[in-house]
Amino acid sequence: MSEIAVLGQQVWRENGCANCHSVLGLGGHAGPDLTNVISRSGPEYSSQVIRYGIGIMPAREIDDEEMMHLVAWLTHIDDQAIYPVRSFPDGSFGAQR
Amino acid sequence: MMEKLSGGPFIPMPNPAPVYIILSAIGFVFAAVIGLQGALKLVLPPEMTSWMAFELLRPMHTFLAMGAVLAGLFGLVEAILVKHTGKQGHPAFLILFATFLLVGPAALMMGQGTGREYFPAPLWVSAILLPVLFSQAWRLMSAHKMLTERSPEGFWLLGFGALFILLAWMESHLRLLEPLLYSFTRDLSVQWHAIDTMFAGMNTVLFGTVMFMMSARPKPLRPWVLFAISGFSVLLTFGHHHYVSAQPGMIKTLAVIASMVAILSLVRHFIAWRKAQGTSTNPSYLEPVLRSVEFWVIISVLSGVIFAIPQINLITHGTYLTLIHAMGSMIGVNFLIIVLGALAFSVSPETVRGERIQLGVRLTNWSLGGLWLVLGASGLVRGIMRIEHEYFEFQPIREAILVGFPVAGLVLSAGIWILCLEALRAQGLVLDRHGIKLRQSAH
């Protein structure tokens, strides 16, 4: 994981994102899983949702630098796995890319 | 588990044991209140609940629930140690634990949480608990001779459980080391190993306390191979929490094997539950609590085994099905064993009201059943529909189902409050028009 992604992980934790959202199905289940949010919705749309909120999700006060870090971390996670999956890949468990 | 309770009808609980039990009851009541607010937050319109921050409610609920279980098991262990060794724990550790329980939520409210699922308190709060965990483990090991004479199996469960809790608490902080900081998968593996070991430790200690509440004849140690199997199972099931991550295949394979070994435990508990039907306890008001514990142990182990099957795990993982599995275990097993211990090690048994216990257990059972239905249905909708559909397509269905969540949560809270009140009365806490008094034990 790059240093910028590590900083993004810190932003994720400081803002308590895991209380409502999961990554690889681990975390809160009130909101959607965010494992592949970047490839599904793109970094721009994701940033807007984080900044202004949507539905029951409140707007977050995150500055541009923190947002860049957070998106870098979500991009790193997106590169790691596909989730959810219908079945495990042949020969092993897991959903690695 | 359902053998006759004996050792005299009641064993006076010494200080600081009742204080730990009181802290436990207070912790459970607050956890229930906060959990109920969290459930309301999920179903009420955002504008009605904007004053509640879910990112604060959830870690507070988790911290208080785990703190309450720890307080309860410390209280029961204290009572057992004093009864069999005559030595009380140093009050400094009680003060440290009370501080931990008090400053943890304060730290979370000040925004110092770790943002992690089950270990939300910051490092400085964790550090307060560490000496208490060391002290409990040390005192248990020092008393191994006397405790083994009374119940060989009981001592092994208490000792192993205390060690598991201590190790898990320390392991949970490995996240601060660089190899974990830069690897999300490694961090997940270690985090979930710590969580699994922690819960296993708490369950093991609580089952150990039940051994000491049971018949006066010593419970012999089972063959060592059974301990080896359960140790293998306890230490390696963690991988099933994230089959989908890129953790090594060997960990996943071992996790499946270890999780399926729990079938042995399930069979044993089922036989015990069948045998338990119709047996009586002394005093009789313990019967509904004991029966409930047996029932929820079976549900917990059964659901754990089913959810660990990889193809089923694809559906259940990351849904409220896993939440109700955890809640059923925390309330149906851990909380009820603490209530059982508080009643069995009572200071003032004459104040315990059997009909209230019956009511509290019924409310707890019915609400847990309701939560299994509501959260189970919501979990199935998410687990099945998320493959083909976007979150916002199936969320309205989940929201409709989750309306039952706060309703069941309210009934559960009522059950918890009633049982906690009886546990407090049993521990000599007198609440009347003259104020609050703590009746002292014989010690």
**ipTM of the complex in this document:** 0.89
| Radius of gyration of the CA atoms of chain A, in A | 14
Q: Does B44 touch chain A (CB under 8 A)?
A: no
Directed axis angle between helix A64-80 and helix A3-14, to 10°? 110
Inter-chain residue contact B113 with A25, CB threshold 8 Å = no
Instruction: Name residues of chain B where pLDDT drops below 50.
Output: 1-10, 14, 442-443
Inter-chain residue contact B244 with A94, CB threshold 8 Å = yes
Q: Does B277 touch chain A (CB under 8 A)?
A: no
**Does A28 score more than 80 pLDDT?**
yes
Angle, CA of B59, B258 and B289, to the nearest 5° = 60
Inter-chain residue contact A86 with B387, CB threshold 8 Å = yes
- Provide the CB-side half-sphere exposure for B224 (13 A, CA): 0
Q: Which residue has the tokens 């588990």?
A: B1
What's the CA gap between B177 and B355, in Å, rounded? 53
Q: Does A4 touch chain B (CB under 8 A)?
A: no
A9 or B16, higher pLDDT: A9
- Enumerate the residues of chain A whose CB falls inside 8 A of the CB of residue B311: 87-88
CB atoms within 10 A of CB B434: 7
**Residues of B (364-383) whose Cβ lies below 8 Å from A:** 382
**Does A85 score more than 70 pLDDT?**
yes
Among all residues of chain B, which has the CA nearest to that of A29? B319
Q: How many residues does chain B have?
A: 443
Of A18, A26, A58, the CB nearest to B241: A26
Of A24, A30, A32, the CB nearest to B244: A24
Query: So what's the pLDDT on residue B7?
Result: 41
Among all residues of chain B, which has the CA nearest to that of A80? B246
A74 or A93, higher pLDDT: A74
Pairs of CB atoms within 8 A across A/B: 121
Among all residues of chain A, which has the CA nearest to that of B56? A16
What DSSP element (H or E) covers B421?
A: helix B404-426
Mean pLDDT, rounded, for A65-79: 95
What's the gap in Å between the CA of B176 and the closest CA on chain A?
12
For B274, counting Cβ atoms within 10 Å of its Cβ (0-12 exposed, 13-18 middle, 19+ buried), the class is: exposed
- Which of B170, B181, B65 minimizes the C-alpha distance to B118? B65
Directed axis angle between helix B354-385 and helix B336-344, to 10°? 170
Question: Which of A20, A23, A24 is most worth mutating to test chain B (most B CB atoms within 10 A of its CB)?
Answer: A24
- Enumerate the residues of chain B whose CB falls inside 8 A of the CB of residue A9: 184
β partners of residue B333: none
Query: So what's the pLDDT on residue B140?
Result: 94
Tokens of B8: 């005299």
Q: Does A20 touch chain B (CB under 8 A)?
A: yes
What's the gap in Å between the CA of B247 and the closest CA on chain A?
8
Query: So what's the pLDDT on residue B5?
Result: 47
What's the CA gap between B428 and B441, in Å, rounded? 8
Inter-chain residue contact B310 with A93, CB threshold 8 Å = yes
What's the CA gap between B370 and B407, in Å, rounded? 9
In whole angstroms, how far apart are CA B336 and each of B146, B390, B392, B413?
27, 40, 38, 13
